[in-house]
Structure 1
Amino acid sequence: MKIFTYALALTMTTALSSQAIAANVPAGTKLADDQTYTYRMLDESSSVDPQLVEDTDGSGIVRDLFEGLYNQDGNGKSVPGVALGHTVSDDNMTYTFTLRQDAKWSDGNPVTAHDFVYAWKRAVTPELASPYAWYMELMSIKNGAEIIAGEMGPDALGVSASDDHTLVVELSQPLPYFADMVAHATTFPAPKWAIEAHGNEWTRPENIVGNGAFVLTEHVPKERTVRERNAMYWDNENTVLDKVVSLVIGDDAQALTRYRAGELDKTDIPAGQYPTLKEELPNEAIAVPRLCNYYFSYNLASGPEAFQDVRVRKALALALDRNVIVDQVLQGGQFPAYNFTPAATAGFDVPSIDYADMTQAERDAMAMELMAEAGYGKGGEPLAFTYLYNTSEAHQQVAIVASQMWKQKLGVDVTLENQEWKVFLENRGNQNFEMARGAWCGDYNEASTFLDLLVSSSGYNDAKYNNARVDELMASAKSSQAPGPLYTEVEQILADEMPVVPVYHYSANMMLKDNVEGWPVNNVQQKYYSKDMYKVAE
C-alpha cells in the first residue's frame, strides 16, 4: 500500500497541515487596515453550486465557499484541504483519504466523509443533470459511467465512508493522476440538509452552507457577489482577507477605467493594451503562461453541410493567421496554437504538426487549393455560416479578424453573433450554432484534460466529433504509465481531421494592484484561493 502526503513525502499529518496554512505572510509585513479584495468578472457565474458550476470565474467563487479534499499551492502542487493525505492499494484501484477532524461547515456541523459521498453521488445523478457529470466518469470511479447513463442507481458509485473521517474511493481502472483531479469543484462536499431544506434556492446567501474560508453574504445577479470570512473555517485564524467582492463588468475598457480609479484590485487587460500598460505600470501588468486553449468548434452534427468536408475544415484552419491574432490583436503573450494541448501542460511533448512548420503564405496557398477542390468559395459554391461567441471585446476582435481573413482569402461570408454567457453556454451545448468559440482551462495538469474533450462521449464535445480511434487511444492513455505517444497520435488525428480549429494558447493577462500578495502567478492553472491572499499597507 502506497502512502501519499504531498509535502516532501512526510507521513506526519501535523507537518502536512502546516503546508495548508492560508496566507503566507512574511514576518515583519505591515498589513493594510482594509482587507477587502475587489475584482472584475466578465460575466455572471453559471452557479455557485459545486456540482453545477461550469465556468472558470464561478469555480473561483466556489473555491472560496467550499473546500475539497486537496487544494493547490502557488506552484500548482496538491496540498491538503479537508484531506490530510491518502493511501493507494497495491493494485492502484482503491484510494483511501484521511480527513481532518477540525473541518466544519459554516453552520457549525462537522465536515465528514459522508458529505463527500453525498456530493459525488449527487454529481452523477441524471436528475441533477450536472454539466460536469462527465468529469466524474473521467475520474474512472467505479460504476460512474453506468450511473450517468442511467443503467445503475447512484448508490452503486464506488465511493463510501468507512467512518466520519475516512473516504474510500474504488476505481474501475488505475488512473495515475486521480489524486490530482480532486481539487476540482465538482468533487467538493455538499451539505445534504441545506439542499433538502431549500431545493434549488439552497445557494442563496440566506440559505447557503459552505465549508470554505468564506461565506456568501450578498449576490446581486449580473452585478456583484460578496464573500466574507467564515468564522467556522478550520484555518480561519490564518486567513487575512476579510471580504472578497466580484463585480460583473462586461466592458473591458470600463473595467480598466474603474481599476485606474481604485475601484478594483484586479481586472483583465483589454486586447492589445498589454505592451502599453506594462510600460506604464510595470509592477501591475502581468502576463504569464496559463493552462488554457482557445479554439473554434465546428458543429458536425447539424451545422452546414460543407463542414462535413474535411477539406473545408482544414482550409479554414490553414487560412487563419494566428500570428496576427496574438501579436497584433491580443498582444498579451499568447502563443499561436497548431495543436490542441498547450505546451505548458505537465509532461506533454508538443507533436510535430505539418502545417505548423509552414509559412503563412504556404498555408494560404494550401487553403485556397483545398477549398477549390471541395467546390466552395471563390469560383465555387458560396459558403456562408454564422460564428457564435460570448460577449467580450477580445472575443469580438478575434472574430472580426478571423472572418476578414476567411473572406479575403477564401471568399467565405461569416455572420458574427454574440450572446450573453449563460445563453451562449446553453446554445453551444445544445448544438444551436454553426461555428462557435471554444476555450478550455485544464481541470488538472495533464494532457487528457484537453484531449478528453474530443472523445465522442464527452459532455463538452460541442463539435459532436466522433472518431473510434481517438476514443480507443484516450481510453488506453488512462491506465498507461507512458501515455505520451498516445497523446501524440490523437493530436495527429485532430490535425488531419480538424474537428476544431486551434487558435491560441492562453497567457494570464491581468492588472493586479501591487499591494495585493498571494496571487498564484506560478500556477499555470491559475487556481487561486482568496484565503491565500492579503493586502499590504501602501
Structure 2
Amino acid sequence: MAVTGCTTTNETPSTTTGGTITVAEVNEVTSFNPNTPQGNLDMNAKLTGYTRSGFFYLDDKLNIIPDKSFGTVEKTSDDPLTVKYTLAKTATWSDGTPVTADDMMLAWAVQSGFFNDSTTDADGNVTSGTTYFDYAGDTSGLGLADKPVVGDDNTSITLTYSEPYADWQLINPIDAPAHVVADHAGVALKDVMSAMQTMPRGDAAKPAAPNDALKTFADFWNTGFDATSLPTDKTLYLSSAGMVLDSWVPKQSITLVRNPDYKGDLKPKVDKIVVRFIGDAQAQVTALQNGEVDIINPQASADTIKSLEALKNVTTLTGNQFSYDHLDISFNTKVFKDANVRKAFLMTVPRQQILDAIVTPQNPDATLDDSQLFFPGTDAYDAAIKVNGSSAYDKVDIDGAKALLAGATPEVRVLYNTKNPNRVASFQALQASAAKAGFKVIDGGAENWGSLLGSGTYDASIFGWISSGVGVAGVPQIFSTKGGGNYSGYSNAQVDSLAKQLQVTLDKKAQDDIQTQIDTLLWGDGYGVPLFVAPGVMANSNNVTGVVYYPGQAGVGWNYWEWAKK
C-alpha cells in the first residue's frame, strides 16, 4: 500500500545518542503476553516490540528482515518442508539467562496447539479433553509440523511439515521465557520439557487425562502475565531486546530503559523511551505542540491532520493502514440465533454515514469497505466485491429490516471502546438508525472492552483488527470455528474447510479464490459488516530522527532502535 508523507523542514542540530524520547499511544498495557484472547490488544503487542527479539522483523515495506544476532532460519528441505531455527550466542533474557530451545519449544506448543485434545460447545466451553495453551492466534498452520527435533546443545529446533505451509516464513518461534513460566507455575522446567518430548499429538476423538506438569505450566502462561500495574517480580516482564520495562504509572505511562544485558545488533540510540497513554487524538496533538511528547500515533481524522500541519517543527506522516473497524454479530447469544434478525440488524447499519463522518473528511476518495478479507485497492478486492454479496448492505434499508423483523423489537447490546471517539461515533450512528427498524440498541460500551471480547455478555461488537499485512494466517485465526481470534462464536463447516485448505495453498491466485469463497460465505451468514479501513497518521517533533511511517500492527515503534534526539 502506498505511503505518503507531509514534512515540515527546519534547521536542527546534528543527531546525538542518549536522552529520552516520549511517545503517545492510544491504549494502555494490560498484559505482558499479547498472545492470549484477553491479552490480544495492540498496545500489549507494541510493548513486546520494544522488549522481545525474534528471528526477523517486518520493515515498513513489509519485507522480512532477519536478525541474525538473535538467530538464524534455514530451510533445509522443500519436500518435506523442513526448517531449522538456531539461536545465536547473543540471545539472552534480561535476567542473564540464555534464550534456549526450551523457549522455542514453549512457543511451538502455544502456536501449534499440538497437545490440545479438547472438544468445545457452541459457546466455546470445553466439554471434553484439555486445552493447554489458550492461544489467540491460529494453530492450524504450525499444527502441520511434527514435533520439533531439538539439537545443537539445546540451541536449535527443526520443524518438518506434513504439507506445504503458505506462511512458513512468518513463523517466529519465540514467546515468553520458559524458565519464568515454570518458576511461577511451581513446576520443574525439565518435567515440562520431558512431557513435551514424550506426549503424543492430542486427539479430540480420544482425549487423554491431562498431563499435570504441562497443564500447570500452561495455566500460568494463560493468565499469569496479565497486569494492571508494574509487578514487584521483575521476571514477569523480562526482555530479550534493546529496551526493558522500568516503571509503570497506571492510566498514565510506562517507562522503558536500555537493557544492559542485550547483546544483539538492534541496540537503541536513546537511553529511555516513555510511552504515555493518551486516548484523545487532539490531546496527543496538544502534548506534541507543548513538547510533552516527541512522537504521537493518534487515531487519524481530518481535524487531527489539519492541527498537525499547523504546527511548526513537526513532521506529519500519513498513509493507509492494514487496519479496519467492523461490526461483528455474536452468534452465541439468543437474539441473533435467527438469521433474519442478523440480516435485519445489518441492514440498519449506516455504513456510508459513518464513513462520511470519520474517513471522508481526511480522504475524499474513500469508499465503503465491502470485503471481510481483502483491503480496498487490490485486484483481489475488486474481484471479490462483485460476487461476495456485500452490495446487499451498502445502503440502509429500514423497510427491508422491518419486513424481516415482522413486528419484533429485539434488544441488542453493543460492546465498544468508550475511550475511542471513532467507536463512540459509530455506535451512536448505529443506535439511532437501528431504532427506526424497531431494534432497541443497548449501550454496552466499556473501557475494558478488550477483556470482554468473547465473554457472551453482548450481542454485537464494534472494534478494529490490525493486520501485519502479510500472509494468510489471519483468516483461520478470526473466522474458523476454533480460531483464537473468533470472538463471535461463528461456525461454518465450509469456512473451516476452506481456511484449512488456504494454509497449504502456495499459489497467490488460488489463495485469492479461496478467500473470495470465504468472503461470500461470511456475507451470506450475516457475520457482520466492515465499517471502514482506518487511515493512519504519525507525527514527530523535528528534534527526533528515525521515525518512519508504518502501516502494520507493530506501529510507530517498529524501528525504535533507529530513533535519536537532535
How far is 1:165 from its partner? 3.6
> Secondary structure at the residue paired with 2:416?
strand
Q: 1:492 to 1:238 in 2, by over 3 A?
A: same
1:179 pairs, out of 161, 169, 173, with: 169
Task: Write out aligned runs for 1:203-242 (5 A).
Answer: 204=231, 206-207=234-235, 208-235=237-264, 238-242=267-271
Task: Write out aligned runs for 1:52-131 (5 A).
Answer: 52=36, 53-81=39-67, 82-121=70-109, 124=113, 130-131=133-134
Q: Please say if 1:339 is aligned against 2:339.
A: no
Asked whether the 8 Å contact 1:348–1:447 carries over to 2, the reply is no
Residues 353-380 of structure 1: CA deviation (Å, up to 9, x unaligned): 46656896xx33xx3343233234xxx2
2:460 pairs, out of 414, 435, 443, with: 435
CA distance in 1, matches of 2:108, 2:513: 32
Unaligned runs of 5+ in 1: 1-27, 144-156
Q: 1:133 to 1:174 in 2, by over 3 A?
A: farther
> Secondary structure at the residue paired with 2:489?
coil
Q: 1:345 to 1:61 in 2, by over 3 A?
A: farther
Moved more, 224-233 or 439-448: 439-448
CA distance in 2, matches of 1:72, 1:237: 14
Task: Write out aligned runs for 1:215-364 (5 A).
Answer: 215-235=244-264, 238-265=267-294, 266-269=296-299, 271-277=301-307, 279-281=309-311, 284-304=315-335, 307-330=336-359, 331-333=361-363, 336-343=368-375, 348-350=380-382, 351-353=384-386, 363-364=395-396
Residues 262-316 of structure 1: CA deviation (Å, up to 9, x unaligned): 1122141465523522542495343311112221111111241xx2333433343
How far is 1:228 from its partner? 0.9
CA distance in 2, matches of 1:332, 1:178: 37
Unaligned runs of 5+ in 2: 1-11, 117-129, 186-219
Say what the alpha-carbon RMSD is for the aligned residues: 3.2
Asked whether the 8 Å contact 2:330–2:488 carries over to 1, the reply is yes
Q: 1:275 to 1:534 in 2, by over 3 A?
A: closer
Q: 1:37 to 1:519 in 2, by over 3 A?
A: same
Moved more, 70-79 or 187-196: 187-196
CA distance in 1, matches of 2:377, 2:533: 11
Asked whether the 8 Å contact 1:291–1:344 carries over to 2, the reply is no
Look up the match of 1:139: 142
> Secondary structure at the residue paired with 1:245?
strand
Give the AA of the match of 2:78.
D
CA distance in 1, matches of 2:168, 2:379: 16
CA distance in 1, matches of 2:522, 2:131: 32
Percent of pairs with identical residues: 19
Q: Please say if 1:529 is aligned against 2:558.
A: yes
CA distance in 2, matches of 1:83, 1:347: 36
Residues 306-329 of structure 1: CA deviation (Å, up to 9, x unaligned): x23334333433443333323323
CA distance in 1, matches of 2:240, 2:134: 22
> Secondary structure at the residue paired with 1:135?
coil
Asked whether the 8 Å contact 2:346–2:393 carries over to 1, the reply is no
Give the AA of the match of 1:429.
G
How many residues are matched? 481
Look up the match of 1:6: none
Look up the match of 1:490: 518
Moved more, 242-251 or 60-69: 242-251
Asked whether the 8 Å contact 2:29–2:44 carries over to 1, the reply is yes
Q: 1:72 to 1:292 in 2, by over 3 A?
A: same
Asked whether the 8 Å contact 1:287–1:332 carries over to 2, the reply is no
Look up the match of 2:490: 465
Moved more, 412-421 or 292-301: 412-421
